[in-house]
Amino acid sequence: MKIIRSRVVVSGIMGAAIIIATWGAASAAESQVYTAELHALNSDATGAKAVGDAKFAIDGDELTITVDAEGLPPNMMHLQHFHGFKDGKAASCPDSAADKNDDGLIDLIETEAYAGTTMVPFHNDPVSMEIPSDTYPKADSNGSYKYKKTLPLKDLQAAFAKTFGSDDLALDRRVVFIHGVPAETELPKSAASLGTIPAQITLPIACGTIKRLSNALKWGGGRNPPSPAFHRPYLRESACGVIASIARRADRGLTRSFRVY
């Protein structure tokens, strides 16, 4: 007669290990979430304080970009993009020190030392990488809008690589800008823009640094909760607890014994 104890332990450990591996692979492949809390810039020129949230959710080969903004100049279209440096250096939102010409405004050109260049537009076709467009969101009469666009991640990466030489979006090293005040807004002649585009169109009115959410428990609030996939790390911890429990039972001699004749 043989008494078999170890197989139950080994089978339990192997099963839990498979669960952990499955959860880990699914979490890595399926979902990443990045968010930016948008704060007002150039409030004196806009007459309002623009605020909002931006969210970038990667689920498999899909990227969903959402922007929820309020306090904007109403009844007009607003350009919105993420900005960054081609070399991957971390971008940041400009502070008052960015106003190098002391005209009371932080214009688009003055943001470049902090935030780099305009990279990906958030309009009807981000993959086009075309910055000029008439399909950016329009604020309603209350100065609010909600933008949402889902696109193939690989397509955006390919377009990004063609423009900037790398397919790494490096979202956690970028910032989000919302731009634009009414055309009749009087700005100092020193307010700079791109080419012949009026400074009223490109003036930054909100900015936020993009940060990656590492897991659900680190969610700090805001309008956009994290993907359910971010609960997986804690499920993995539970599976690790199962393994530890099985091992402890083995040490105490509590594993089930089977008699084999």
Which residues of the chain are under the pLDDT cut of 70? 1-30, 215-261
Q: pTM for the complete prediction?
A: 0.74
pLDDT per position as a tens digit, 76-88:
999 999 999 999 9
Tally the domains of the chain.
Answer: 1
Is 162 within a domain?
yes
Give the amino acid at 241: G
The answer to whether residue 192 is domain-embedded is yes
Residue 255 within any structural domain of the chain: no
User: For 142-168, how does the pLDDT look when each residue is reduced to its tens digit (9 = 90+)?
Assistant: 999 999 999 999 999 999 999 999 999
- In a domain, residue 44? The reply is yes
For residue 246, being part of any structural domain is answered with: no
Determine, yes or no, domain membership for 243: no
The whole domain housing 192 covers 28-231
pLDDT of residue 256: 45
CATH code assigned at 75 = 2.60.40.200
What is the dihedral sign for C-alpha 34, 37, 43, 48? positive
Token pair of 204, please?
Answer: 């930054």
Q: What angle do CA 254, 258, 261 make, to 5 degrees?
A: 155
- The whole-angstrom separation of Cα 123 and Cα 144 is 16
Of 111, 93, 101, 98, the closest CA to residue 208 belongs to 93
pLDDT recorded at residue 145: 98
- In Å, what is the CA distance from 52 to each residue of 43, 115, 117? 14, 19, 21
| Separation CA 252–CA 247 (nearest Å) | 9
Q: Angle at Cα 237 formed by Cα 231 and Cα 242, nearest 5°? A: 130
DSSP state of 231: G
Residue 69 maps to a domain: yes
* 22 occurs within a structural domain: no
pLDDT of res. 47: 83
Using CA atoms, how far apart are residues 75 and 236, in angstroms rounded to an integer? 48
